[in-house]
C-alpha cells in the first residue's frame, strides 16, 4: 500500500497534474450543480481532452470531476429542491427544509464537507483493499477473466434503471459493437461493411459522447424553458460547517463506510447507498433531531455516503476490470485509451500508475473540502445560467472534443449516430450504461473465451473445472435466472393490470 503511494506521488506532484485536478474539482462541482448533467456528463465531455494528456494528469482530472460532480448535486437539491444528480435525491429530505428555515449556508457547507470526508474514507479503504484484491486476482487465468467480464455485464444490467431484460439487451448491443473491427486472432475484418474507417471499430469516446452528452441535450431541447432563471438564495463563504460536522462524527464515519461498501458492489450506486445511509441515521438518531424537518445529520448521512461510493466503485474497477457504475466505466475506458488495462496486471507491472491514481483521488477530496467551501457563492450563481447558453456550450465542447481525437469527420458521424441511438433507447426505457460496459468488456470477454478454449483439453469444461472460475460462473447463472424470473413476473404483472382494465372499459 505504502509502496504504491511512494511510487505514484512523484507523478502526481507536478504542476500539470495538480492544476488539472483542481480544475477538475471546480468543473465537477459546476456540472453537478446543473440539474440533468452530473459527474458522468463531465467525464464524457473531458474525455477527448484527457486522451492527449499524460496518464496521471488525465486520470487526476477525470477522477476530480467524478468527485466534484458527485458532491455538486446537493447544492441544487438544497437551494431549489431539484437534485443536480440522482445521488443527491436523498439530500432533499433534510437539505431543502434547512434552506427553508434560513440555514441554506449551513446545509450547503455540511453537504460539501461531508462529501469530501466521506470520499476520503472511501479512498483509504480503496487504498487498503485494492492491493489485496489485486493480489488474489493474480491467480486468474483466461477462464476467470471471461467469467468476471460476464459478471460485470450481468451485474450492471440487472441493477440498471427499468427492466433487467432491457439492461441485458443493452449490454448485448455493447458486446456486438465490441466485435466491429479487426479480429485479434485472425486479423480479418468483421462487420466493417467495406468501410476501412471501421477497421478499429467505432471510437469509444465518440460513442460515449454521443450516447450520453448528445442524447441528454436532445432531451433538454425537447423540454424547452430555454430562458428560465430560477430564484436562488445568495450564499457567502463560511467554514462554520466544519464545526457543525464535528457534532456528527459517528454518523459521518458510519455513512461513509456504508457508501464505500455499496460502491464496491458493481451497479449498486450512490443513490442506493445514500438512502440506506439516511434510513440508518434516522433510525439511530434521537427523536429531538427531527429527521425530515431540516436535521443536520440527514445531510451529513446522505452526502458522506454518496461520495464514499466513489472510492468503493473504484475498487472493482481498478482491481478486476469490472466498473462499479457508469462513471467508473468511462474512467476505465479512459485508462484503456491511455494504454493501461485495469486489473491485477496493472498493479504488477504499473504500480506507479495505480499509486498516482490513488494519490489523485485522495488529494481530490482534500481540494474538494477547501475549494468547495471557498467557491460556494459561485456555484449558487451557476444555477442562474439559462439553458439557452448551456446547451450550445455542451454541443460545442462535444463536437470539438470528438473531432480532436483523430481529426476525423467520421468520428463526428459516429457521435451523432449514437446521440440518436441514446435518445431512442432512453425514450424506450433502455439504460445506457450496460451498452458502454458491454462495449468496454466485450474485447475481454471474447478474447479470454477463445483463449480458454484454445488451452482447454475438454472444451467448455475448463470453465467449471477450475474452482474460482466455477464459483464465478455459478454467480453468473444465478444472475441470469434472476433476470429471467424478474422479467416473467413483470410481464405477468402487466398482463394482470391489462385484464383488470379491460372490464372497466
| pLDDT above 90 coverage of the chain, percent | 9
Grid cell digits, residue 305: 455516503
- Residues 437 and 40: beta-carbon distance below 8 Å: no
Record the pTM.
0.81
Answer whether 77's CB lies under 8 Å from 302's CB. Answer: no
CA 443 – CA 342 distance, rounded (Å): 13
Q: Cell numbers at residue 138, please?
A: 493474480
Q: Is 80 exceeded by the pLDDT of residue 503?
A: no
Give the separation between CA 314 and CA 342, rounded to whole angstroms. Answer: 10
State the distance between the two ends of the chain, measured CA to CA, in whole angstroms: 67
Region 58-80: mean pLDDT is 86
Closest CA to 337 of 412, 406, 409, 267: 406
Contact 434, 168 (CB under 8 A): yes
What is the average per-residue pLDDT within 43-71?
89
Instruction: Say what the pLDDT of residue 271 is.
Output: 64
User: Over the range 276-290, which residues count as b (16 or more CB within 10 Å of their CB) and which as e?
Assistant: bbbebbbeebeeebe
Residue percentage of the chain with pLDDT more than 70: 90
Give residue 23's pLDDT band: very low, low, confident or very high (50, 70, 90): very high
Q: Is residue 79 within a helix (H) or strand (E), and if so which, with residue range? A: helix 55-80
List CB contacts of 370: < 8 A, sequence separation 6 or more. Answer: none
Higher pLDDT, 311 or 389: 311
The pLDDT assigned to 61 comes to: 93
C-alpha–C-alpha distance, residues 300 and 296, integer Å = 6
Confidence of residue 333 (pLDDT cuts 50, 70, 90): confident
Condensed to tens digits (0 to 9), the pLDDT of residues 256-311 reads 888 888 787 765 556 667 777 888 888 887 777 777 777 888 888 888 888 888 88
Instruction: Give the mean model confidence (pLDDT) for residues 330-350.
Output: 85
The arithmetic mean of pLDDT across residues 15-43, rounded, is: 85
Would you say 151 and 434 are in contact if contact means Cβ atoms under 8 Å apart? no
343: left (phi over 0), alpha (psi -120 to 50) or beta: left
362 and 123 in contact (C-beta within 8 Å)? yes
The confidence band for 22, taking pLDDT boundaries of 50, 70 and 90, is very high
Distance CA 415, CA 232 (A): 35
Distance CA 31, CA 69 (A): 6
Cα dihedral across residues 220, 221, 222, 223: positive or negative: positive
In whole angstroms, give the CA distance from residue 258 to residue 68: 20
Max mean pLDDT among 14-28, 138-152, 153-167, 274-288 falls in: 14-28
Q: Which residues contact 158 (CB under 8 A, 6 or more apart)?
A: 164, 167, 168, 267, 479, 482, 483, 486
Q: Report which of 90, 39, 98 is spatially closest to residue 303, judged by C-alpha positions.
A: 90
Q: Cα–Cα distance between 334 and 136 in angstroms, integer? A: 25
Distance CA 417, CA 177 (A): 13
The rounded mean pLDDT for the chain is 81
Tens digits of residue pLDDT in 419-449: 999 899 988 888 887 888 788 778 878 888 8
Average pLDDT over residues 114-123: 89
C-alpha 251/C-alpha 332 separation (Å) is 32
Q: Is there a contact between 306 and 274 (Cβ–Cβ < 8 Å)? A: yes
Average pLDDT over residues 332-355: 86
pLDDT at position 238 over 60: yes
Confidence of residue 231 (pLDDT cuts 50, 70, 90): low
Lowest mean pLDDT among 31-45, 311-325, 380-394: 380-394
Tens-digit pLDDT profile for residues 445-489? 888 888 888 888 777 888 888 888 888 889 888 888 877 777 777
For 189, the 3-state DSSP assignment is strand
**Confidence (pLDDT) at 269:** 59
43 vs 333: CA distance, rounded Å? 11
Task: Report domain extents, the chain.
Answer: 2-491
The mean pLDDT value for 59-84 works out to 83
Q: Is the pLDDT of residue 242 over 90?
A: no
> Over the stretch 158-213, which tens digit does the pLDDT of each residue have?
655 556 778 888 888 888 888 888 887 888 888 888 888 888 888 888 888 888 88
Instruction: Write the pLDDT tens digit of every residue in 204-229.
Output: 888 888 888 888 888 888 877 767 66
d(CA 333, CA 226): 33
Q: Apex CA 257: angle with CA 253 and CA 262, to 5°?
A: 150
Query: Would you list the DSSP string of 216-272?
Result: HHHHHHHH--TT------------HHHHHHGGGHHHHHHHHHHHHHHHTSTT-HHHH
For 39, phi then psi, to 5°, come to -60, -35
Name the DSSP class of 81.
Answer: S
Amino acid at each position: 500500500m505504502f509502496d504504491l503511494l511512494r511510487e505514484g506521488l512523484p507523478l502526481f506532484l507536478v504542476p500539470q497534474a495538480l492544476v488539472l485536478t483542481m480544475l477538475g474539482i471546480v468543473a465537477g462541482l459546476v456540472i453537478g450543480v446543473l440539474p440533468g448533467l452530473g459527474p458522468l456528463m463531465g467525464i464524457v465531455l473531458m474525455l477527448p481532452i484527457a486522451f492527449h494528456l499524460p496518464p496521471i494528469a488525465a486520470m487526476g482530472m477525470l477522477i476530480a470531476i467524478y468527485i466534484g460532480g458527485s458532491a455538486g448535486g446537493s447544492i441544487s437539491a438544497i437551494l431549489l429542491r431539484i437534485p443536480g444528480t440522482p445521488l443527491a435525491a436523498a439530500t432533499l429530505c433534510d437539505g431543502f427544509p434547512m434552506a427553508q428555515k434560513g440555514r441554506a449556508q449551513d446545509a450547503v457547507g455540511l453537504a460539501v464537507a461531508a462529501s469530501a470526508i466521506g470520499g476520503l474514507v472511501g479512498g483509504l479503504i480503496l487504498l487498503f483493499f485494492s492491493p489485496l484484491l489485486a493480489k488474489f486476482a493474480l491467480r486468474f487465468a483466461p477462464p476467470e477473466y471471461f467469467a468476471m467480464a460476464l459478471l460485470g455485464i450481468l451485474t450492471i444490467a440487472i441493477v440498471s434503471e427499468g427492466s433487467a431484460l432491457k439492461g441485458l439487451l443493452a449490454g448485448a448491443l455493447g458486446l456486438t459493437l465490441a466485435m466491429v473491427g479487426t479480429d485479434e486472432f485472425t486479423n480479418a475484418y468483421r462487420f466493417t461493411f467495406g468501410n476501412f474507417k471501421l477497421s478499429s471499430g467505432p471510437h469509444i469516446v465518440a460513442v460515449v459522447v454521443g450516447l450520453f452528452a448528445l442524447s441528454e441535450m436532445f432531451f433538454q431541447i425537447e423540454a424547452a424553458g430555454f430562458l428560465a432563471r430560477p430564484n436562488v438564495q445568495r450564499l457567502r463563504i463560511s467554514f462554520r460547517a466544519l464545526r457543525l460536522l464535528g457534532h456528527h462524527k459517528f454518523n459521518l464515519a458510519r455513512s461513509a463506510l456504508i457508501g464505500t461498501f455499496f460502491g464496491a458492489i458493481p451497479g449498486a450506486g450512490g443513490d442506493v447507498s445514500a438512502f440506506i445511509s439516511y434510513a440508518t441515521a434516522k433510525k439511530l438518531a434521537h427523536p429531538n433531531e427531527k429527521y425530515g424537518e431540516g436535521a443536520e445529520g440527514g445531510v451529513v448521512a446522505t452526502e458522506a455516503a454518496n461520495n464514499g461510493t466513489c472510492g468503493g466503485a473504484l475498487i472493482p474497477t481498478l482491481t478486476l476490470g469490472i466498473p462499479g457504475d457508469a462513471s467508473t466505466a468511462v474512467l476505465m475506458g479512459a485508462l484503456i485509451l491511455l494504454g493501461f488495462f485495469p486489473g491485477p496486471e496493472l498493479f504488477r507491472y504499473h504500480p506507479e500508475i495505480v499509486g498516482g491514481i490513488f494519490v489523485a483521488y485522495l488529494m481530490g477530496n482534500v481540494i474538494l473540502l477547501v475549494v468547495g467551501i471557498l467557491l460556494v457563492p459561485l456555484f449558487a450563481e451557476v444555477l442562474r445560467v439559462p439553458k439557452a447558453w448551456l446547451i450550445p456550450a455542451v454541443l460545442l465542447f462535444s463536437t470539438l472534443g470528438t473531432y480532436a481525437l483523430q481529426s476525423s469527420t467520421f468520428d463526428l458521424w459516429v457521435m451523432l449516430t449514437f446521440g440518436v441511438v441514446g435518445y431512442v433507447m432512453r425514450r424506450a426505457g433502455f439504460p445506457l450504461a450496460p451498452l458502454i460496459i458491454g462495449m468496454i468488456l466485450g474485447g475481454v470477454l471474447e478474447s479470454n473465451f477463445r483463449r480458454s478454449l484454445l488451452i482447454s483439453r475438454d472444451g467448455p469444461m475448463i470453465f467449471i473445472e477450475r474452482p474460482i472460475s466455477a464459483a464465478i460462473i455459478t454467480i453468473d447463472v444465478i444472475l441470469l435466472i434472476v433476470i429471467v424470473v424478474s422479467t416473467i413476473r413483470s410481464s405477468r404483472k402487466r398482463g394482470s393490470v391489462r385484464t383488470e382494465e379491460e372490464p372497466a372499459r
